[in-house]
Amino acid sequence: MAETLPYMLSTGTIGKILDKIKDAKTPDRFSQDYLSTVLGHPGGGAKPFIPLAKRLNLLNSDGTPTDLYRRFRGSDDESKAAMATAIKIGYAPLYKRNEYADKLDKKKLEGLIKEITGAETGSSTLRAMVGTFEALKAHADFGLDPASESNNAAEDETAGSIDEASASTPSRADAGGADLRFGYTININLPNTNDIAVFNAIFKSLKEHLL
């Protein structure tokens, strides 16, 4: 079954809007009025930027900026790392096929996108998908992207917390009784966020209150 990937036909507009976002104040809601009036992109070619930003998790479904949006407006390194994370979110089907999709040359990238989406060779849609990915990539540094390391650290810390909890459960054998042991499993539903501080707070609370 063909996957869908986010794109804009006016790919040259993407970089200009992203530059304006970094300079402008974060809005309460990123609307078409904000895009046209504050950022100065009233044309019809710029309108698809909002759906694109939502696919990248820069905006919530109601148009409010996410933490990732705010990170993109940060320092140069933070901004590039945030965009790398956003690309991996928005183009997840691409990264499922090739975890180094951002390192592919244009021809190989086009072939992979065509394979995933079923787009026709030479079509404007295929060119737009490739162009959009490349335009976003110009604002990213995947060497700075902390997403994978953060997820691995979270998994390791969760496993460590559960192992420690099981090890600390007393058995009746220690008190001279029958060898009866108790155990429990902790299931954690992590929030949908890319802020490592949130994960650190969760695991700190687990250690302080459950172990």
pTM for this prediction: 0.69
Query: Is residue 50, in this structure, part of any structural domain at all?
Result: yes
Q: 9 exposed, middle or buried (CB, 10 Å; 0-12, 13-18, 19+)?
A: middle
Tell me the torsion sign for CA atoms 80, 82, 86, 88.
positive
- The verdict on 35 and 70 lying in the same domain is yes
Of 88, 116, 137, the residue that ends a domain is 137
Asked if 56 and 69 touch (Cβ cutoff 8 Å), the reply is: no
Residue identified by tokens 């029958």 is 178
Query: Is residue 1, in this structure, part of any structural domain at all?
Result: no
Domains held by the chain: number: 2
- The verdict on 121 and 156 lying in the same domain is no
Render the burial of 149-159: b for 16+ CB within 10 Å, e for the rest: ebeeebeebbe
Provide the residue-wise pLDDT of the chain in tens; the chain has 211 residues.
Answer: 678 999 999 999 999 999 999 999 999 999 999 999 999 999 899 999 999 999 999 999 999 999 999 999 999 999 999 999 999 999 999 999 999 999 999 999 999 999 999 999 999 999 999 999 999 999 999 997 555 444 444 344 444 443 443 334 444 444 454 555 555 556 566 655 656 666 566 666 666 655 5
Tell me the torsion sign for CA atoms 74, 76, 81, 87.
positive
Domain coverage including residue 78: 11-137
- The verdict on 132 and 160 lying in the same domain is no
- The verdict on 25 and 74 lying in the same domain is yes
Q: 127 exposed, middle or buried (CB, 10 Å; 0-12, 13-18, 19+)?
A: middle
Q: Smallest Cα–Cα separation from 53: which of 104, 13, 93, 113?
A: 13
Query: Is residue 6, in this structure, part of any structural domain at all?
Result: no
